[in-house]
Amino acid sequence: MGHCNSCETIDDTLFWRAHEAPIDEPTDIQPVSTESRRSDVPDVRPSAMPAPLIAMQNAPAAPDPTGLAVAAQLLGNPNLFRDITGLAANQQNALAAFQSSLEAAKFFAQEGGKLRMQERMLEQADRALQRVRQARERGMITPEQERELTVEALRTMMSGQSTPGEVTRQIERARAQGLLDSEQASKLTERALRSWAEGTSPQATPRLTEEAPVETLLRRASAQPGASVSVTRGAESVQVRTAAAREPVQEVCGFFGPQGVVSEEDLRDAIRLVAERERRNWRDASGAVLSEGDDSQFGHLVRYWLARYSAISPLTVTHTQTQALASTTNYGALLDANPTEAQVNAAADAARQALLAGAPGSANPPNLDDLVEEALRNARGSRRDAIPWSAVFVSACVRRAAVQLGLEAEVAGRIVGRDGLLRYHDAHRVYVREAYRRRFQDRRDGTYHAFRPDERAVQVGDIVVLDRQANRLEDVVAFDDIPTVLAGGRALHGDVVVEVSDGYCVAIGGNLSQTVRRRRYPLDAQGRLVVAEGQRFTQEADNGSLAAIPAAGPATGALHDLSTGRIFALLSLAQACLAVPGQPLEGGVLV
């Protein structure tokens, strides 16, 4: 550099020698922070101007020179020349000017006092920081204590009347000396600017909502329905409006359906009446028991199987169940002992048409004809003791009560409340497993829930569930294993409770020795089912008698058919509760 073969003379004094005059170090780059950079928008509204220094005084209006009447009035005024020199007016003007000057002087004195106070506080803060630094240099405090005292001194400055510029300079000085790290300095600077922008100093005017009278007024108004309060001060305004008073809210409990709400007591009683009526249907005029093989009972078997199909509209089910007992319905070869397949098909087709003739209901599946014919064939199998029908008996009792009380109905072309109380099926394990799921998994009220046999007292309308497949007590289905064990095939039985007395309950079940019979189950002192290997329940005899509960016997290791050790679950109705406006009507039914 500086050497050239050209004729031009190079002045090397113009070159920058970095080794002799290095460039200044760049300012530190603030570390990356994850904190939000959002800050509140400061109030940029201008404050009121100070009182003027000069007060303008307008000269009195000159008398009207025109008009003789006015002139005569002036001449007749005895006080016309009372203040001919204008002394009073001059004195008034001088007094007004003096007052204006006094107000201005007072204003500037106050502002000067504030400035002096700020300077004084700044000096005190400087001395405090110096003393802290000296104490650390003398070993009186640790560097950590020095940083804490520095932060506290800066916070004190922010709470006083120091300007944001003065505070931020002190913060920057403390950061440069290593008393604050970058994050602490950033937070203190943000706090100082925000305090200044929001006017949160001790002398600042409190917000409108912070005024005690306003706060009390707003609190009282918010507690009054239909209140409307508005408070305004300058540019600040707050308004409170409350909603009008509502009707009282009442809790309504029961079972909700498309046609209203049914109380638990009414529902349980309806199920009891249906079960007792079905038992009477299986007795002749003399009280003798009728069997599933009797021709007169085939229509009842058809009714039970029709109720099992929840996809069929309740309007259609009710109609076909009535037709199943009509004398005009001819079952033909379905009642014969050894018909040909062609005869069975012809009889099933004719009976199906008779059942569906004039049937109402539009919410039926496309395979309605197939379902009705399947019900006829299943009834024929039950008549021959080839297909169990105890589960469809329970389904029929519960569904008939639900339809009668309006908990299941056809509304706008669809079935509302379908399987709402119980999962209708031809296998006990299906509706038991569903009742378990509704209680513990879906937590769905307004339906049957599964309980342990000794978990609650038995009530009318409950369903006692037994394990018919187990041979020993340890083989009986465990309550907690219902979701897994009942997922496969399992021979169970269920009876509908129709009476509860001291020490026992009476239940009615279908397909008990080829008919509908009563059973008497033992209860403990709390009204709960007694479950023990050696304790037996009793079953109604053909003559209609029902024996008392026998004394408990010894455990033999093998379960008797009538052993209460087979009981593993109790299905009980669990009502739902809803909060509705207004008063509940008598009987728990809302219209």
Task: State CA 58 to chain mean position distance.
Answer: 73
Task: State CA 174 to chain mean position distance.
Answer: 52
Residue scoring higher pLDDT (172 or 314): 314
Beta carbons of 422 and 446 less than 8 angstroms apart: no
Identity of the highest mean pLDDT range in 48-57, 126-135, 285-294: 285-294
Which residue matches tokens 């279908």? 510
What is the Cα–Cα distance from 542 to 204, expressed in whole angstroms?
A: 97
Which residue matches tokens 């509960």? 549
Residue 589 binned pLDDT confidence (cut-offs 50, 70, 90)? very low
Reduced 3-state DSSP string for 250-284: EEEEEEEECCEEECHHHHHHHHHHHHHHHHHHCEC
pLDDT at 437 over 70: yes
Q: CA Rg, the chain, in Å?
A: 49
- Residue-wise pLDDT for 377-430, tens only, equals 999 999 999 999 999 999 999 999 999 999 999 999 999 999 999 999 999 999
Closest by Cα among 545, 549, 552, 550 to 518? 545
Choice among 84-88, 224-228, 279-283 with the minimum mean pLDDT: 84-88
Beta carbons of 572 and 432 less than 8 angstroms apart: no
The letter for the amino acid at 284 is: D
Choice among 170-179, 188-197, 258-267, 385-394 with the minimum mean pLDDT: 188-197
In angstroms, the Cα distances linking 38 to 21, 182, 184, 194, 430 are 42, 18, 17, 11, 60
Burial class (CB in 10 A: 0-12, 13-18, 19+), 431: buried
Closest by Cα among 134, 198, 189 to 166? 189
Residue 60: which region, alpha, beta or left (left: phi > 0; alpha: psi -120 to 50)?
A: beta
Residue 495 binned pLDDT confidence (cut-offs 50, 70, 90)? very high
Reduced 3-state DSSP string for 446-462: CEEEEECCCCCCCCCCC
What is the Cα–Cα distance from 115 to 494, expressed in whole angstroms?
A: 93
- Look up residue 148 and give its two tokens: 């804490």
Closest by Cα among 273, 234, 275 to 46? 234
Query: 253 pairs with which residues across the strands?
Result: 577
Identity of the highest mean pLDDT range in 149-158, 255-264, 437-446, 500-509: 500-509
Residue 53 binned pLDDT confidence (cut-offs 50, 70, 90)? low
Q: Where are the beta strands (DSSP E) in 15-161?
A: none
Residue 76 binned pLDDT confidence (cut-offs 50, 70, 90)? low
What is the Cα–Cα distance from 474 to 123, expressed in whole angstroms?
A: 90
Beta carbons of 448 and 574 less than 8 angstroms apart: yes
The secondary structure element, H or E, covering residue 323 is helix 314-324
Dihedral in degrees, nearest 10, Cα atoms 145, 147, 148, 152: 130
Choice among 130-139, 189-198, 225-234 with the minimum mean pLDDT: 189-198
pLDDT at 257: 93
Beta 504-509 vs 567-574: how paired, if at all? unpaired
- Residue-wise pLDDT for 196-255, tens only, equals 555 444 445 667 677 777 677 777 777 777 677 777 776 777 777 776 655 566 788 999
Residue scoring higher pLDDT (288 or 13): 288
Return the SS3 of 183. Answer: helix
The secondary structure element, H or E, covering residue 392 is helix 390-404
Return the SS3 of 395. Answer: helix
What is the Cα–Cα distance from 591 to 411, expressed in whole angstroms?
A: 17
What does the pLDDT average to over 270-299? Answer: 96
End-to-end CA distance of the chain: 106
Q: What pTM did the predictor assign?
A: 0.60
**Helix-, strand-, coil-residue percentages of the chain, each rounded to 5:** 40, 15, 45
Q: Check the CA dihedral 511-512-514-517 and report its sign.
A: negative
Beta carbons of 287 and 453 less than 8 angstroms apart: no
The secondary structure element, H or E, covering residue 13 is none
What is the Cα–Cα distance from 322 to 355, expressed in whole angstroms?
A: 8
pLDDT at 502 over 70: yes
Which residue matches tokens 């309550």? 479
Beta carbons of 227 and 234 less than 8 angstroms apart: no
Enter the DSSP assignment of 294. S
Return the domain boundaries, the chain. 124-190
- Residue-wise pLDDT for 356-390, tens only, equals 999 999 999 999 999 999 999 999 999 999 999 99
DSSP one-letter string for 460-521: TT-EEEEESS-SSGGGSPPGGGHHHHTTS---EEEEEEEEEETTEEEEEESSSSSS-EEEEE
Query: 414 pairs with which residues across the strands?
Result: 411
- Residue-wise pLDDT for 101-110, tens only, equals 556 556 566 6
pLDDT over 90 for what percent of the chain?
A: 52
Closest by Cα among 121, 130, 133, 206 to 163? 121
What is the Cα–Cα distance from 559 to 553, expressed in whole angstroms?
A: 12
What is the Cα–Cα distance from 43 to 221, expressed in whole angstroms?
A: 29
Residue 460 neighbours by CB under 8 Å, 6+ apart: 268, 269, 271, 272, 497, 498, 499, 500
Beta carbons of 431 and 391 less than 8 angstroms apart: yes
| Mean pLDDT of all residues belonging to the chain | 81
Which residue matches tokens 């109905």? 409
What is the Cα–Cα distance from 529 to 64, expressed in whole angstroms?
A: 117
Choice among 1-10, 272-281, 299-308, 416-425 with the minimum mean pLDDT: 1-10
